[in-house]
Amino acid sequence: MNSKKSLSKKAFAAVAALTLSATSLVQPGLFSSKENTVKAATHDNYAKLLQQSLFLYDANMCGKKVDDASLLTWRGNCHTSDEVDGGFHDAGDHVMFGLPQGFTASTLGWSYYEFKDAYDATGNTAHFKTISDYFNSFFKASTQLSGDTVSKFLYQKGDGDADHAYWGPPENQSGSRKMYWTSSGASDIAAEYAASLALSYLNFGNAEDLKYAEALYNFSTQHNQVATDGPNGFYKSSGCRDEQAWAAGWLYLATKNEKYKNDCASKQTQYLGWVHGWDNVDLGAASVYAHITGDWSKVNGWIGSKTGSNDYFFLDKWGSARLNASMQFTALVATKNSNADYGAWCQNQMDYLLGKNPANTCFVVGYASNSASKPHHRACSGTSNAEDNSPSKYVLVGALVGGPSDAGGTYQDSRADYICNEVAVDYNAGLVGAAAGLYSIYKTGTVESTIAGAKSNGIGGAVVNPPATTVTTAPPQGNTTTSKTTTKAPSNTSAPSQSGDGYTLKVNKTYTYSDMGENDRMIGFAYEDFGLSASSKEKISKVEVKISANKNIGKWQGAFGTSTTVSPDYWTMSDEMSQTISGNSGTITWNVDADTADIIQYGYGGEIKFGVWWIDCDQFTIESVTLHTSGGSSSVVTTAKPVTTTKAPQTTNPPSSSSDGYTLKVNKSYTYSDLGEDERMIGFAYEDFGLKASSKEKISKVEVKISASGKIGKWEGAFGTSTTVSPDYWTMSKDMSQTISGNSGTITWNVDADTADIIQYGYGGEIKFGVWWIDCDQFTIDSVTLYTTGGTAVTTTKTTTTTKVTTTSKVTTTQKPSTSAVAGDINEDGVVSATDLASMMQSMVGKKNFTTQSKKNADLNNDGKVSIVDLIKLKNLILG
């Protein structure tokens, strides 16, 4: 699954430097999990709206896996004695009504199908997939198959009247709940489930989803009876032909079977008269049929007749905001796929929902300072009954309340007023789709770095406007920072010809994918457990992971990676990979390209990493991991438990002297809301501080003095440094947060010893100050001070212009040797510096040729050849 992309920290540049010269690299754009910025605005923050609107589903999850799957801290496992586990509560109550459930899941799937670009660009794909999988896993668990035929299926959990008599959190609702099964009816619900599963197959390729979709559709058309026992009084259906047309259209797009196309056509209504909603999906069915035929005239005829006015689009007092949002979503789909353009109309309507209305209320909870705050929702209320209008205990982030009860905008923020303040899974389906569509068209907004009451902000980590040359990615929210370059696709090496050319680690550990936490999606195995050591001269040419399951494994998507001995908290990753295993067992293979093989270093905390973004089967066992090497001899080592990532670096004590650093006076003002993506990481060249690559000092602390006209408040960001080896790749500290209570103060980075070792001065290197967000909008960086071991204070003045002034009172002079036969002097200039490291790397990958003397100078371990060991020795020599 794509939860792999949550953090963008450009790691130690060994990989990039070995494969590309510094001059050939293009400066990549910056992305952090703390910011997905395109353009921030008051009422068009569609990135934030899409992000937040998904959280209603975290609040309404049900079953034994809520603790693991929901991103909200205040939701936990509930209704654990239900005969079929999972699914979502319908609204502020806890019943699981099948018709709105199926409508919601299929509509959400449609939104991703249409506007995948918006989900990817804002980093919301991983969160969406978790929600989609949770819905569709429940639909499959609710369906009993006999071969390819549905023998019966569960269409509702819980009795509506009994459930509504309870007001309290779902975690405390005890007792058994009535299960509603059918073997000959509920055709409306079966068709909705089929549509959702077909869309899940179209979106993510799970063949099992398609199997169940076809079976449920066949069941629906065989019986043609709507459900009555259970839904009556709550969600009584007016028929099932519209749901069948809806499902048949998506099944045709999934299979290209003409039967489904014909069914979709024959079951269309002649006239459209309502928005895409839980009891009437005629507009949705007409839209999917327009996808098939390319003719959008019927859809546009009805939408066009309803969008001529900028007045609030009002159809009914029950959930008027829900109907409005759904209309926006379908209009945006038509805008994308036809020559119609309803974008401006949708923006105007969304402005109304977000607060530009007579009630001066944003109808999306938690979105704005004037948001509705008392939704009719048991889990978040913290109250003992619906009549208690005290503040909600928890913020029901992203939930769309019912909204105005008339076309004039009448609304009251009262929990007891369920007409205006009911929330439901189907209410948010249209809102999610509208937010995705608006972002896809206008690309405005900024995702939130934190969500109230949440474990995570839900961002899966896709890069906004990713650069063509480089993308950085990592497994979600882990302690390990990842760098992945996509500048060069790996070229597969030949498979080893002998069976005794590798090292095999027997694992025999079973993993449940749906239970895997974010950190667990990247599984590490220490090199030392394979019997490999840093002194080994072998290179890994191929990695094989043997896996098995009790069913068809299907599609795996993920990546391989490796930490390095230089800094085990930073590591490289291969391009994302996808492989399919058609049976119950097989091998996932990574053929390591030669350049990557050069920088894999064994032992001392290094790991081989196996990433699982998603896998079709839910349970799988890693039987063994084999590293094939050049010149290796087969050895088998058994371990009971894979090694996890290493601990976070520890900070050093601050310097004791005030004369041990270099200060750059900046005096430049920044407006946070105007900062573009790249400008959120502000760089200051080492040479402006008077530092040179030949210096043996190490930075122990960085201080940035900032000021503002008002209270600065909270800053969150990071520090980083580019390297002299390859200034376009750089290391970054972990995300940091500091608060300045007044108008001025200092933001401090205490540099851990390992990071200090790899900071290299001069030649384009920079110290970087990242601002993910800051409470004040305008601030001034007054100065930046680098504290070093053994330095003397130097002050350099720098104005707001781009002219660099390098006046310094400290000069470091290196005496040039009289002979070129100097160990480490690769460019034969008589001096050992970072330029020699760059030259050595370029020569090792064939971009330059060693001379006879430079090759001798490069052979630092005197073994008669130049290898990665010599490269490491040279780096250590330069760093002192």
Q: Which residues are catalytic?
A: 93, 376, 413, 422
Residue 407 near residue 389, CB atoms below 8 Å = no
- Is the torsion defined by CA of 21, 25, 27, 29 positive or negative? negative
Quick one: tokens of 677? 């993506």
In whole angstroms, give the CA distance from residue 248 to residue 741.
60
Half-sphere exposure (CA, 13 Å, Cβ side) for 531?
A: 17
Region at 66 (left for phi over 0; alpha for psi -120 to 50; beta for the rest): alpha
In whole angstroms, give the CA distance from residue 330 to residue 107.
10
Q: What angle do CA 283, 288, 292 make, to 5 degrees?
A: 140
Q: Any idea which residue has 């008589």 for tokens? A: 830
Beta-bridge partner residues of 470: none
In whole angstroms, give the CA distance from residue 544 to residue 579.
12
| Strand 522-526 versus strand 607-615 pairing type | antiparallel
CA 296 to chain centre: 34
- Is the torsion defined by CA of 299, 302, 304, 306 positive or negative? negative
- Is the torsion defined by CA of 664, 667, 668, 672 positive or negative? positive
Alpha helices in 94-240 (DSSP H): 98-122, 125-141, 160-164, 187-204, 207-223
Amino acid at 360: N
Amino acid at 333: V
Q: What angle do CA 549, 553, 557 make, to 5 degrees?
A: 125
Alpha helices in 718-789 (DSSP H): 753-758
Residue 607 near residue 525, CB atoms below 8 Å = yes
Please state, as a whole number, how many other Cβ atoms lie within 10 Å of the Cβ of residue 633: 12
Residue 370 near residue 354, CB atoms below 8 Å = no
Contacts of 507 (CB under 8 A, 6+ apart): 525, 622, 623, 624, 625, 639, 642
Residue 49 near residue 445, CB atoms below 8 Å = yes
Helix (H) or strand (E) holding 620: strand 619-629
Region at 6 (left for phi over 0; alpha for psi -120 to 50; beta for the rest): alpha
Of 43, 54, 28, which is closest to residue 123 (Cα–Cα)?
54
